[in-house]
Amino acid sequence: MTDDSTTHRGATPVDRAVTARLDTYRDRLFELLAQPSVSATGEGMEAAAPLVGSVLDECGMAVTQVETDRYPLVYAEYVPEAIDDASAVPTVLFYGHYDVQPPGDPAAWTTPAFEPTVRDGAVYARGAGDNKGQFATHAFAVDALRAADAFPDVQVKLLVEGGEESGSEGLREYLGEHPDELADVDLVMVADGPRHAVADRDGTPAGAPTLLYGNRGVLSVQLDVRTANTDLHSGNFGGPVPAATNRLVGLLASMRADDGDGIAIDGFHDDVAITDAARALVEAIPDDSAAVRETLDLDGFATDDPYYERLLTRPSMTINGLEGGYQGEGGKTVLPARASAKLDFRLVPDQDPRAVFEAVRDHLEAREPGVEVRYRSSFPPMQTPVDAPVAEPVRAALQAVWNEEPVELPLLGGSLPAAYFRTVPALADVPVLVVPYANHDQGNHSPNEHLDLDCFENGICTTARLIELLAER
């Protein structure tokens, strides 16, 4: 399986260093992938951070393991010896995470989730694309620049957290202390998510180099409804006695607009702020919605609005799961006493997850005083101005390595904790850019997650080229 990318290798001493050392980089990546690191359950987490630190140390970076009340972060930096005054040179901070999603049903994996296996030019393992294979490219780029004796006058810092998949509590704790080591950062870059998919000549989706100026936020909520103190016989009690499942379905429906797509909650949209420049980027995104529909075997979309306008400029509500009543074989005429639902709201700038939660809670409690509305987790949305000058070397690095003009999007459809960097006073106005290296079909969070090895190699070369270009600004 490939991402149909046109590579540009061997043209510089750094490219040649990457090629010469690629087997070592793959071995180190496979070590990371073989180590379970599931933050939701704690599986393998104790060993994961030291392993990450050892890999970064092997790349010549000075490494510190930062303890938190949750899971450790790994902070690493490289300052070329020739730099006399670090404050006078550019400083880039690369962010990533070493924790992964639970693998889920083992039977859904062709090969075990924590036994990295190469098939059709890709490595299959949990965390291959999300995010071990992506954050590791930055460390390997440092190693390749050093090996080629080509490291420019740039400070490189790398921050790898262990809780992104479960709320980033450790990262927030660390950033809340306003760490001095981040005070001189000029650019925060995140390699996460899949590259943007565009339709090639025959309509097949293929990945394109991608530059994003932020990410959507997310708010996860759980609703619990209780009516009676026990399940009841629907014939003996149904009608006068309410069913918790009926009440829950009514509550969920009340949050949907009449058109079935919008969100009908007072105050929900109050802080939405999409700039004209961001809208212009959205309008320029190639329309590949027909390929998306065919690939996913959809009978239609939820709205007639343009695909990327709906995805990236307006918030959404998704019912992630429902529970209540009888779920076994056959039928059971039960009147359920309890029902629950898990939801997520994807948010756009400048929505505040806490304010949105309060609006959701007020809406539901006004209609069902007995409902319990529980806040589960959130990431705020984040956007860097799309005319940020530092985007130019990022764009140029992508063009040079992938040999293709990058697609630019105002936001990543998924959610990242990038907005928390803005809580550090020294980083309040620092650009945060998202540049995914993984193939468009990486399957992150799904069985058989994988990273195309071409994308892995090109990611290393892209980071190395960016570091070189930052020195030329």
Domain 13-213+384-470 has CATH 3.40.630.10: yes
pLDDT in tens, 217-244: 999 999 999 999 999 999 999 999 999 9
In this predicted structure, what is the pLDDT of residue 202?
63
Classify domain 217-272+314-377 at the CATH topology level.
Alpha-Beta Plaits (3.30.70)
Residue spans per domain, the chain:
13-213+384-470, 217-272+314-377
Q: How confident is the model at residue 4 (pLDDT cuts 50, 70, 90)?
A: very low
The Cα–Cα gap between 160 and 235 comes to 57
User: Residue 367: what pLDDT?
Assistant: 96
Dist CA 57 CA 77 (whole Å) = 10
pLDDT value, residue 82: 79
Average pLDDT for 35-44:
97
Helix (H, G, I), strand (E, B) or coil at 436: coil
Highest-confidence segment of 197-206, 391-400, 411-420? 391-400
Six token digits for residue 247: 């009440």
Q: Which residues of 263-285 are buried (b: 16+ CB within 10 A; e: fewer)?
A: bebeebeeeeebeeebeebbeeb
Secondary structure E strands in 17-66: 62-66
In a 13 Å sphere around the CA of 191, the CA atoms on its Cβ side amount to: 32
CA dihedral for 28, 30, 31, 32, sign (positive or negative): positive
Selection from 393, 403, 439 nearest residue 11 by Cα: 403
What pLDDT shows up at residue 9?
A: 53
Reported as a single tens digit per residue, the pLDDT across 349-382 is: 999 999 999 999 999 999 998 899 999 989 999 9
Please check the confidence at residue 257 and state whether its pLDDT lies above 60: yes
**Is the model more confident about 178 or about 204?**
178
Q: Work out the percent of the chain whose per-residue pLDDT is above 90.
A: 86
Under the banding of pLDDT at 50, 70 and 90, the label for residue 203 is: low
Q: Mean pLDDT, to the nearest integer, of 449-464? A: 98
Fold agreement (13-213+384-470, 217-272+314-377): no
Q: Rounded to whole angstroms, how far apart are CA atoms 466 and 398?
A: 8
Does 5 score more than 50 pLDDT? no
